Amino acid sequence: MDRLRCRVPLGPLLGCFLLLLGPCRASCPRWSMGNVTEPQYEHIPGLESGLSFMSGIVQSFLGLVQPNPFPKDLIMSIVKNHTFSRKDINEVLQYEAGFLVCVAIGILYLLLMPLVGICFACCRCCGNCGGHMYQEQTKRMDCQRRLLYCFMFLITFIMLAGNVCMFLSSQSTTTTLQQAPDNTFTIMNNVQKYLKSLPEQVQSVENESFFTIDMVKSNLGNISFLLGSMIQRDVKGPLMPALDSVRNMSQVVKNTSDELSSLNVSLVTLQSQLTILQYNLTSVRIRINGTLSNPKCLYCNRYLAALDTMPQNMGFNVPNIYDIQSAVDIAQKADLDSKVKMGEDFINNIPQVVENKTESTVQSAQTKLQDVRKQINKMNVSFSMLDNVFQGFNNAKDFVNKTTPVVKSAEMYSWIVGVILCCLVLLVVICNIMGLLLGPWGLMPNAKPTERSCAANCGGNFLMAGVGFSFIFSWIFMLLVLILFLVGGNSYTMICKPWKSQEIYEIIDQSDLNFSTLLGFKGQLSLQQIYRDCQQNQPLWPTLHLEDAVDLNAYLNISKYADEIWSSFDKTNITIPTITLMTSETAVQLKNITNIIGQLDLQQTDYFSNLSANLTNMADQLQNLSNVQPDSSIKYELAQEAQDLRNIISMANNITSNLIILKHIKAIVSNMNVTVEDVLTKVAAAQIFLNHNLTDLVKRDSRIYVGCQIEIFKIFADWANMTITQQIGRCGPVAEALNSVEVIVCSKFIGSLNGFWFSLGWCTIFLIPSIILSVKLAKFYRRMKYSDFYESSIPMFQLPRPTVKPS
């Protein structure tokens, strides 16, 4: 059988729970469980047209014949007493009064028409009743002929219309009988499909319950993945930034240690250059001071004050990075990578810890799930009673198979009888039509009655032939009309009409037939209400009031088991041992690095730029002073000292180019300071979370996880309740089958049958005026044996009037 829906594979379903780990973890994942599958029913063609074309007229006529309401009380009295009392017989006669009057009229017609026909034939043989071939000529003869012709034409047209309706009704009856076996098979197959779908739909709900229980059991079995991953994801949130910062700090410490080792060599070279520069600067200053103090030096006294501005000692000291190196080495020995590894192991071990802590709780919950499965198993409804129904349908199919040849024969005979009757009526109509055509066509205004043409005479003979056929067949027609009227009319008023108005269901409800007992249900069921509900395609639960027989909440109420599962998990203390991401000693070591970095002075990188400017100014002054000295020795000394200053400036510039080392140290120190502050901040926040919030987080996630498992059961319980009470066993096909039977039996067969006898009776009644008009009109067309003389202002012909009228 078809599943209710495409099953959700367990892997993706478990993946759905990962949604809980995201921003929307407060809500459990939901999915649609689908609707029950309805069987595909076969369509019965030809039932859309409803009533036959004559049904409206026939039903109006039967409403006049039988205006009384349906005798429910009378039928109930007969059914309960199982006998007919005198009172019941009187009520039946009163109810059938209209039919009895029609039957009396029909019997009177049936008796009188043959008798009148015999008398008419005898009179004509004796020369009476129009049998005397003589026509009196009067002034109104033409007017009478035309008036009779018009009435005869109208009557013939009405009979022809009735004959057409007879043929169509007969054809409809034949078609209904021809399609009856196939339609009956289709109706029974549809009902069998519906009955077969009931246990399948109930079984599908039960299978869905087992699938739900297995899914929850699987979720509990994968608690390390589901709950563990949930807790793991929540722990990673505050913990991973701290671990990443520690990992970054470890890398920075390693890189800083390596670079400080290589910088130590460069700083030693820089220190030797600074020593040489200091020595040269001191030596040149002494020589310059001696030269300017020489009395032979002209205008030199004024430059002694400028010499005081020349630095005597180097104001630049190479920074000592030994303390930094020592602090970094100590931090490197702290092995920050092991702290990161410890944190990652702590996170990765959370699922296993959860599984170990909840092992006994999960086993207990799975045992309770088995109890839930047994509880839902009790809801299984026995459909053994349907076996008898199926057997009944199979017997009915066998019966239909056996009776199909009989129905085919009946269909053939009904078609033959219908065609014969239509042809007999048509024979009278054709005689009338031929008389109406040939009579006027062969009639000549100036012709004598004894000299009328053969065409006119044939027309009159056709009319008289129609009269003869009417007398011969009319009693047969009326006999058939009476039989079909009693059968078809009473079938409509006693079966079809109350069936359509559902009064027949009310009678069944009030009878001794207990529909509830037949279906095996307690209480009293109303067949009328069941039919109305099935017309609206209602499910069986409210239609049969199964809530009175089955306490659905007793089977689908899982709150007891849910509370037990919830309580067992709530009592389970899932404790995850915390870790210390960083010891206080390591934190002190990192803080020591920041303190040392704070004491390091790296702001002297611009010292040599100022020194070069000062020395350049001094060298220029000495060069200018040497140019004005008269003494050649003084002049040489001053020029040489200016050149020495310029050499010192060149040496200072070389040292300045090597100060990029100090800038590199400055960048390392700055990066180290930021990294240490970031590590200490994030590690402190993560440690606070582990020490104070981890327990609450585990409890919260555990409740969310257990709540989601309970929510799965609630979703199933709501779906099962809704499916059982609102979807299973929609009985529209049963009402459709009853409606189809009603259409086939009443609207098609009985409607066509009633249309046939009504059309036949229509034609039979109009045979009376047809006979009268045919006899009177035939006188104007037949060739007379005796002539009559008629004087007119416009003589047409002279007829000798006999003195003695022959007898």
Q: 36-45: per-residue pLDDT in tens?
A: 788 888 887 7
pLDDT score at 665: 66
Token pair, residue 174, equals 């034949």
pLDDT at residue number 317: 61
Q: Region 298-306: what's the mean pLDDT?
A: 76
Weakest mean pLDDT among 271-285, 487-501, 581-595, 752-766:
581-595
Please report which confidence band the pLDDT of residue 792 belongs to, taking 50, 70 and 90 as the band edges: very low
- Does residue 238 share a domain with residue 182? no
Domain count, the chain: 2
Does the pLDDT of residue 570 top 80, yes or no?
no
Give the residue among 187, 192, 175, 186 at the shortest CA–CA distance from 407.
Answer: 175
Grade residue 151 by pLDDT with cuts at 50, 70 and 90: very high
Do 691 and 765 fall into the same domain? Answer: no
AA identity, residue 364: S
- Residue 630 near residue 294 (C-beta atoms within 8 A): no
Question: Does residue 202 sit within a domain?
Answer: no
Same structural domain, 278 and 402? no
Higher per-residue pLDDT: 551 or 789:
551
Which stretch, 63-67, 558-562, 669-673, has highest mean pLDDT? 63-67
Would you say residue 403 lies in a domain? yes
Residue 98: beta bridge partners? none
Contact (CB, 8 A) for 368 and 561: yes
Is 297 part of a structural domain of the chain? yes
- Helix orientation angle between 322-333 and 584-599, rounded to the nearest 10 degrees: 160
Amino acid of residue 733: P
CA nearest to 252, candidates 596, 679, 585, 675:
675
Mean local confidence (pLDDT), 294-315: 73
Residue 276 and residue 333 share a domain: yes
Q: Given this model, what pLDDT does residue 584 score?
A: 75
Which has the higher per-residue pLDDT, 643 or 1?
Answer: 643
Q: Which of 434, 484, 411, 465 is nearest to 762 (CA)?
A: 484
For residue 300, pLDDT over 90 is answered with no
pLDDT confidence bin for 106, thresholds 50/70/90: very high
Whether 696 and 772 map to the same domain: the answer is: no
Residue 455 has pLDDT above 90, yes or no: no
Top mean-pLDDT range of 7-11, 200-204, 409-413, 753-757: 753-757
Q: Is the pLDDT of residue 451 over 80?
A: no
pLDDT at 485 over 90: yes
- CA 154 to CA 160: how far, in whole Å? 10
Amino acid 4: pLDDT: 37
Mean pLDDT of the 146-159 span:
92
Q: Distance of CA 490 to CAs 480, 495, 639, 748, 779, Å?
A: 15, 8, 153, 16, 44
Residue 420 CA to residue 411 CA, distance in Å, equals 14
pLDDT of residue 14: 37
| Domain of 594, in residue numbers | 223-358+578-713
701 and 582 within one domain: yes
CB 168 within 8 A of CB 422: no
Q: Confidence band (pLDDT; 50, 70, 90) for 103? A: very high
Residue 438 near residue 407, CB atoms below 8 Å:
no
The tokens for 647 are 């050499």
Instruction: Tell me what the mean pLDDT of segment 236-256 comes to.
Output: 81
Among 270-284, 456-470, 585-599, name the most confident range: 456-470
460-499 burial, b at 16+ Cβ within 10 Å, e below that, comes to bbbbbbbbbbbbebbbebbebbbebbbebbebbbbebbbb
If you compute the radius of gyration of the chain from its CA atoms, what whole number of angstroms results?
A: 62
Residues 252 and 290 reside in one and the same domain? yes
Residue 16 has what pLDDT?
39
Q: Determine how many CB atoms are found less than 10 A away from the CB of residue 232.
A: 22
Mean pLDDT of the chain: 77
CA distance 3 to 546: 25
Examine residue 593 and state whether it is found in any structural domain, yes or no. Answer: yes
The amino acid present at 16, given as its one-letter code, is C
Which of 32 and 141 is assigned the larger pLDDT? Answer: 141
Q: Quick one: pLDDT at residue 49?
A: 62
779 DSSP 8-state letter: T
How many whole angstroms separate alpha carbon 759 and alpha carbon 748? 16
Distance CA 312, CA 282 (A): 6
Quote the pLDDT of residue 45.
Answer: 76
Distances, alpha carbon 216 to alpha carbons 10, 370, 574, in Å: 10, 11, 20
Res 615 pLDDT > 60? yes
652 pLDDT above the threshold of 90: no
Q: Pick 18 or 32 by higher pLDDT.
A: 32
Total residues belonging to the chain = 807
Task: Tell me which amino acid residue 71 is.
Answer: P
**Angle, CA of 443, 448 and 454, to the nearest 5°:** 45
Distance CA 87, CA 85 (A): 5
**Region 687-699: what's the mean pLDDT?**
81
Residue 68 has pLDDT above 90, yes or no: no
306-352 pLDDT, tens digit per residue, is 777 676 666 566 666 666 777 777 777 777 778 788 888 888 888 88
Kindly state the percentage of the chain with pLDDT values over 90. Answer: 11
d(CA 343, CA 236): 10
> Would you say residue 706 lies in a domain?
yes
**Helices 660-688 and 632-658, packing angle to 10 deg:** 30
Indicate whether 171 and 275 sit together in one domain: no
> pLDDT at position 22, please?
40
Examine residue 783 and state whether it is found in any structural domain, yes or no: no
| CB atoms inside a 10 Å sphere around CB 632 | 8
For residue 363, give the nearest of 232, 220, 522, 470 by alpha carbon: 220
- Cβ atoms within 10 A of the Cβ of 638, count? 27
Residues 93 and 123 in one domain: yes
CA distances from 640 to 291, 625, 643, 798 (A): 11, 12, 5, 188
What pLDDT was estimated at residue 544? Answer: 78
Confidence of residue 257 (pLDDT cuts 50, 70, 90): confident
pLDDT at residue number 602: 54
Residue-level pLDDT at 734: 87
Q: Are residues 611 and 689 in the same domain?
A: yes
**Banded pLDDT at 295 (limits 50, 70, 90):** confident
> Do residues 265 and 312 share a domain?
yes
pLDDT tops 90 at residue 764 = yes
293 or 260, which is more confident = 293
Q: Which of 171, 299, 18, 112 is nearest to 765 (CA)?
A: 112
Pick from 657, 683, 713: which residue ends a domain?
A: 713
Question: What single DSSP character describes residue 786?
Answer: B
Of the ranges 394-408, 461-475, 592-606, the best mean pLDDT one: 461-475
**What is residue 645's predicted lDDT score, i.e. its pLDDT?**
82
Structural tokens at position 346? 């702590």
Tokens 């934190």 correspond to what residue?
A: 587
Element (H, E) at 513: none
What residues form DSSP beta bridges with 134?
786
Q: How confident is the model at residue 794 (pLDDT cuts 50, 70, 90)?
A: very low
Give 805's pLDDT tier (boundaries 50, 70, 90): very low
**In a domain? residue 538:** no
pLDDT of residue 479: 94
The more confidently predicted of residues 677 and 774 is 774
pLDDT of residue 663: 66
**Domain for residue 304, yes or no?**
yes
Residues 704 and 628 both lie in one domain: yes
- How confident is the model at residue 768, as a pLDDT? 92
Report the pLDDT value the prediction gives residue 793, as an integer from 0 to 100: 40
pLDDT at site 367: 76
